[in-house]
Amino acid sequence: MAQYLMSVLFDSNDLATDDEMAAIDVFNEQLQADGHWVFAGGLASPDTATVVDGRNGEPVFTDGPYLESKEHVAGFWIVEAPDLDVALRLAAQGSQSCNRRVELRPFLTA
């Protein structure tokens, strides 16, 4: 089994609608029932981000996201799957349930 990050890509700060939230709940329950579930969460908008640079002793705090881009990560799932084909199927279902695009990436395995 390997773990995958499914990032939800979105281009506005609008939150999920009630219908979308309901579909996401159904999907989450299915992930748990099928043993794929590790963790998931929605993220507040990029306006709320602070970039912290602690590399040179005194940390520097910068308001705003690291990248100004049209799309940002609005939320994510971490799932467990035996291979990419299974993970792709989960990502497709996730994308459909939250009604947004999903980027799928494997975690580094030791």
Partner 1 sequence: MTDVGEVIARTHRAEWARVVATLARRFGDLDIAEEMAAEAFATAVERWPVDGVPPNPGGWLTTTAHRKAVDRVRREARREEKHREALMLSDTPEPLGAIDDDRLRLVFTCCHPALAMETRVALTLRMVGGLTVPEIAHAFLVQETAMGQRITRAKTKIKAARIPYRVPSREDLPARVTGVLAVLYLIFNEGYLASDPGQEAVRADLTAEAIRLTRLVRALLPADGEVVGLLALMLLTEARRAARVSASGELVTLGEQDRGAWDRELIAEGHALVRARLASGRAPGRYQILAAINAVHTDARDIRDTDWSQIVALYDQLLRLDPSPIVRLNRAIAVAELDGPEVALAEVDRLPLEGYHAFHATRADLLRRLGRSVQSRAAYDRAIALAGNTAETAYLIRRRDQLTGP
Contacting positions for partner 1 (CB under 8 A):
2, 81-85, 87-88, 105-106, 108-109
Instruction: For 21, list phi and psi in degrees, rounded to 5.
Output: -60, -40
Smallest distance from partner 1 to CB 61, Å: 34
CB 32 within 8 A of CB 17: no
- In the complex with partner 1, the residue whose CB is nearer, 56 or 109, is 109
For partner 1, the closer CB: 24 or 104: 104
* CB 107, min distance to partner 1, A: 9
**Residue 8 vs 91, nearer CB to partner 1:** 91
Q: How far is the CB of 88 from partner 1 (least distance, A)?
A: 7
